[in-house]
Amino acid sequence: GRILIGGTDISSLRERDKVQMRRNMSMVFQKPAPLRGSVSDNVAMGLRFRHADEREIAVKTSEALQKVGLDEYGERNAGILSGGEMQRVAIARAIATRPDILLLDEPTANLDPVSTEKIENLIITLNKKFGITIVLSTHDMVQGQRLADRIAVVIDGRIGQIGTSMEIFYKPVNRNVARMAGVENILEGTIAENEGGLASVDINGIRISAPSQFPPGTPVVVYLRPEDITFHGKDSTKTSARNEITGRIIKVVPIGPMVRVTVDAGVKLTAVITQRSFEDLSLGLGEETGVAFKASAIHVLEQDHLT
């Protein structure tokens, strides 16, 4: 592949120009190590490596600390900071040189939820308010959805798909990308009918309505996110969703305030609902229940697009 920065293919540059290009980038590692000295000393390191004068160092260090919300921390010993504070110091050090591109290697991987939220808010501010282009690597796809304008899904060293978060999470190009994006319902079937772009998909004898342009007889894969499935108990009125199926709950897994529920309705469907909804609907393991989902929530691909 190629790496283009500002439309320039850097592989064709002379070594001297590549060095200059690298000077326009900064990187923050997953677990930054504090240097001996104060917070200001840590933030100023890159500037000192570039032989900036002391006045410039003082101004840019102060600005960087202010941007990350640590303007009162300059004289503190960097060695006694918390993980979240040290990560913000590392980001301040990276932006003190005023890079065009900031590279972040899983910047919240080792942080608690509160510190993670602070770092994520900081990343958004640096990008939206100060216009810094940021390339961030993460194994947390939900974090990618929260932060990214564009996402590249890398599988086994190759890019599986590039797109907006909506495209990645709701229009994955194959099942590998879908799994990475948290699509738990991946079902194989055949187009039975298609009227004006609304298809009836046969999956083990169960008919599901979904938008599709594929003609009858086409083998397809149906993708449905777990949060797009709703429940209605045995005594509840039916919903307005086009797809409604009755099945039996075969698995219940609590995940914090949410519950992952698997239903066998001739096809196995996994949904994620709130704990309160689970209790209000009197759902339970072994209970019969109705599940519903909109046709528009379904993404359909030909079975050729499996990998």
CATH number of the domain at 4-149, please? 3.40.50.300
- The ranges of the chain annotated as CATH 3.40.50.300 are 4-149
Q: Where in the chain is the domain with CATH 2.40.50.100?
A: 225-233+245-295
Tokens matching residue 101: 């591109």
- Return the CATH fold of 225-233+245-295: OB fold (Dihydrolipoamide Acetyltransferase, E2P) (2.40.50)
Question: What pLDDT, on a 0 to 100 scale, did the predictor assign at position 12?
Answer: 84
DSSP string, 122-165: HHHHHHHTT--EEEEE-S-HHHHHHH-SSEEEEETTEEEEEE-H
Which amino acid, one-letter code, is at 155?
I
Extract the tokens encoding 275: 């704990």
List, run by run, the mean pLDDT of 10-residue segments along the chain (307 residues).
Answer: 84 85 89 88 92 94 93 90 92 93 93 91 91 92 92 93 94 93 95 94 94 95 96 66 92 94 95 93 91 95 72
The sheet carrying 288-293 orders its strands as 230-232, 288-293, 243-255, 258-264, 268-274
For the chain, how are helix, strand and coil distributed in percent, rounded to 5?
30, 35, 35
- CA 242 to CA 297: how far, in whole Å? 10
Q: In this predicted structure, what is the pLDDT of residue 13?
A: 86
Rounded (5°) CA angle 138-134-76: 85
Bridge partners (DSSP) listed for residue 133 = 101
pLDDT at position 101, please? 93
The reported pLDDT for the residue numbered 31 is 86
Alpha helices per DSSP H over the chain: 15-23, 39-43, 45-49, 54-67, 83-95, 113-128, 141-147, 165-170, 175-180, 275-280
Contact between residue 89 and residue 34 where contact means Cβ atoms under 8 Å apart: yes
CA distance 150 to 303: 26
